[in-house]
Chains A and B, each alone.
Chain A
Amino acid sequence: MAVTDPTATPLAAPARPDKGRSLWTDARRRFFRNKAAVVALVVLVLIALFAFFGGLVARYDRETVDFTLMGVNARNGGPSLATGHYFGVDDSGRDLYARTVQGTRLSLMIGLVGSLVAVLVGTLYGAISGYIGGRTDGVMMRIVDILLSIPFMFVLILMLVMFGRSLLMLFIGIGLTSWLGMARIARGQTLSIKNKEFVEAAIATGVKRSAIILRHVVPNLLGVVIVYATLLIPDMIIYESFISFLGLGVQEPNTSLGALISQGARQILSGGEAAWQLWFPLGFFVATLFAFYFVGDGLRDALDPKDR
């Protein structure tokens, strides 16, 4: 795969994901041989089931305040099967189970959208910039430099003022920044890949530039792209809290894992005793990250042609 090889030993079989079904079958087989990845995948599926169907067993909705528990949730609002508050209640007296279900759902979507945009836009942008090189590369990368430096908060505020708040705006806000780092990584790898023999061979046989980028360069980027995409997920989930802080994102009574964790953390670290307010959302956050990371590594290994 994307080997940076100063001694330039020719590679016998360059990656050819376009060879058809057998490659994907191979990859699947390799993936399921990887125990850590399989366990992680199972965890991820369970979390997704929880996020999308967990509401079916909730006894309360996520917004109704039980005023008898407000402010005294540490004493009377603990997790309990008997009361139906499986995860206890938060300090406003709302059912934490229903809130965690909804928060996990939203944060999963945010993480996925953010990484998807990064993978699609960032990879292509970086591959094009790196492959074409020269002045185009210069301009494209200076644009990334500028976007990495501008006070992005104002972009978010302007989006709020111009389009109002909505889930779509939140996703756009997330997507707008998530691809920048990916573009730089993809471009760096492309600079090295484009000197490889299989690319030179493709050029020599007259394959079109767009086809070379899509068929020869991008597939060879996949390893690092998948790994980096999973790295983005926690950043995106936390970044969402900031966007919501500005007013563009999630608004009460809706919530997200980021918001739940920060409320729980504030509550505990200020000497509160409602520990469940932190541990449940944090537990889902941590489990999600581990699962994504190991699934990502498993995918990377499975798609690595040299392991065949």
Chain B
Amino acid sequence: MITYILRRLLVAIPTILILIVLSFMLMFAAPGGPFNSDKPLPAAVLANIEARYGLDQPYVVQIFNYVKNIVLHFDFGPSFKYRDQTVSGLIAQGFPVTLTYGSWAFAVSTVLGVAIGTVAAIRHNTWLDYLAVGSAIGASVLPNFVLSPILVLVFTIWLGWLPAGGWSNGGWEVVVMPVIALATTYVASIARIMRSSMLEVLGSGFIRTARAKGLPMSRIIWRHAMKPAMLPVLSYLGPAFVGMITGSVVIDIYFSTGGIGQYFVNSALNRDYAVIMGVTILVGVLTILFNLLVDILYAWIDPKIRY
């Protein structure tokens, strides 16, 4: 197992490199550029700016320098759009924000989703099953851009309990609404995958044997069924966790959290190459790490799995 993990970590390096090169190729091929605007800049001014950011170099040299600066100095360069900021600075500012509300959302949606899915499976095809799944779906069914304003309407305007937005230092009152908005999008998915896989496990031979032996249901679930039933849920949670901790553009914009979720769309729209690359690499690294973690957990759940 240790060698497997080491091998996977080693493979991560070329994977990230391919990711960097591919992303650069896409960005360079797309129309527009970071300094295009409604009011075209005079040629001399544009030339100075491009020289300042190395955009006058051949594409290959730009990519090489980019990788070199990361390897040698861990320097992800300055933002092209926000000229007082570096990419590392923006991510250092925004990632803790999305990490905070994303982790909470992950915890809430996983606990709720697994619980609802399990209950629904145990009470298969009863009113409790329909109610559990129905309410999970009900919570998820509103698109984020509809749910967020409704939350503000209820918690801020009607009840006056929570501030409408902002982050300050990430106190609980500003975290609540982003967590609700984000968690509800995932809870139905987790619940339904859990329900489906729990049903399969409960129908399997060894559980039937256990039930025949007269073991109490709660014990069967905890001791025997939960672990194997988590397998497909884990496959889902790997990428979902990365999605949650890197935030959501709707939430970041609507609640003015200052998180990095907004950069995935906005820096691409702005053609802020450096910031796009920064968040892309961040997602790439996280995706690779958490998919590795999921694979390790697979082997723990089902020792027969070999890589």
A residues apposed to B, CB below 8 Å: 1-12, 34, 36, 133-134, 137-138, 141-142, 145-146, 148-151, 153-155, 157-158, 161, 180-181, 184-185, 187-189, 191-192, 195, 223-224, 227-228, 230-231, 234, 238, 258, 261-262, 265, 269, 278, 282, 285-286, 289-290, 293-294, 296-297, 300-301, 304, 306-307
Determine the chain A residues whose CB is within 8 A of the CB of B23 once the complex forms.
150-151, 154
Determine the chain A residues whose CB is within 8 A of the CB of B235 once the complex forms.
184-185, 187-189
* Inter-chain contact B197/A224, CB cutoff 8 Å: yes
Determine the chain A residues whose CB is within 8 A of the CB of B265 once the complex forms.
153
Q: How far, in Å, is A64 (CB) from chain B's closest CB? A: 28
* Inter-chain contact B196/A227, CB cutoff 8 Å: yes
* Inter-chain contact A195/B287, CB cutoff 8 Å: no
Q: Which residue of A lies closest to B268 (CB)?
A: A153
Q: Which residue of B lies closest to A290 (CB)?
A: B137
* Inter-chain contact A192/B302, CB cutoff 8 Å: yes
Indicate which residue in A3, A6, A148, A191 contacts B200 across the interface (CB closer than 8 Å): A3
Q: Return the CB mask of B264-307 against A: 1 if under 8 Å, else 0.
A: 11001100000010001001100110010010001001111111
Indicate which residue in B11, B141, B142, B304 contacts A192 across the interface (CB closer than 8 Å): B304
Q: How far, in Å, is A213 (CB) from chain B's closest CB? A: 17
How large, as a class, is the contact surface on chain B? Answer: 35 or more
User: Is B227 at the interface (CB under 8 A from chain A)?
Assistant: yes
Binding-face segment, B38-46, B48-56, B163-171, B204-212: B204-212
Determine the chain B residues whose CB is within 8 A of the CB of A138 once the complex forms.
8, 11
Determine the chain A residues whose CB is within 8 A of the CB of B269 once the complex forms.
153
A-B contact pairs, 11 of them (CB 8 A): A3-B228, A11-B205, A142-B288, A148-B287, A150-B23, A195-B304, A223-B199, A224-B232, A231-B189, A234-B141, A289-B141
* Inter-chain contact A145/B234, CB cutoff 8 Å: no
* Inter-chain contact B228/A146, CB cutoff 8 Å: no
> Given A4-B228, A158-B26, A297-B192, are A146 and B19 also a contact pair (CB < 8 Å)?
yes
> Given A153-B268, A181-B239, A286-B141, are A195 and B283 also a contact pair (CB < 8 Å)?
no
Indicate which residue in A7, A8, A145, A262 contacts B291 across the interface (CB closer than 8 Å): A145
> Given A6-B227, A148-B239, A184-B238, are A223 and B200 also a contact pair (CB < 8 Å)?
yes
Indicate which residue in B133, B238, B283, B302 contacts A149 across the interface (CB closer than 8 Å): B283
Given contacts A10-B205, A142-B288, A157-B30, 8 further A-B contacts (CB under 8 A): A146-B284, A149-B283, A151-B276, A154-B23, A228-B236, A231-B188, A262-B143, A265-B149
Q: How far, in Å, is B33 (CB) from chain A's closest CB? A: 13
User: Is B114 at the interface (CB under 8 A from chain A)?
Assistant: no
User: Is B27 at the interface (CB under 8 A from chain A)?
Assistant: yes
Q: How far, in Å, is A146 (CB) from chain B's closest CB? A: 5
Residue among A148, A158, A180, A300 with most chain B CB within 10 A: A148
* Inter-chain contact A238/B239, CB cutoff 8 Å: no
* Inter-chain contact B133/A188, CB cutoff 8 Å: no
Determine the chain A residues whose CB is within 8 A of the CB of B60 once the complex forms.
none
* Inter-chain contact B205/A261, CB cutoff 8 Å: no
Determine the chain A residues whose CB is within 8 A of the CB of B141 once the complex forms.
234, 285-286, 289-290
> Given A188-B231, A188-B234, A297-B133, are A7 and B287 also a contact pair (CB < 8 Å)?
no
Q: How far, in Å, is A131 (CB) from chain B's closest CB? A: 12
Q: How far, in Å, is A280 (CB) from chain B's closest CB? A: 14
* Inter-chain contact B195/A297, CB cutoff 8 Å: yes
> Given A151-B264, A154-B26, A185-B236, are A145 and B205 also a contact pair (CB < 8 Å)?
no
Q: How far, in Å, is A200 (CB) from chain B's closest CB? A: 11
User: Is B161 at the interface (CB under 8 A from chain A)?
Assistant: no
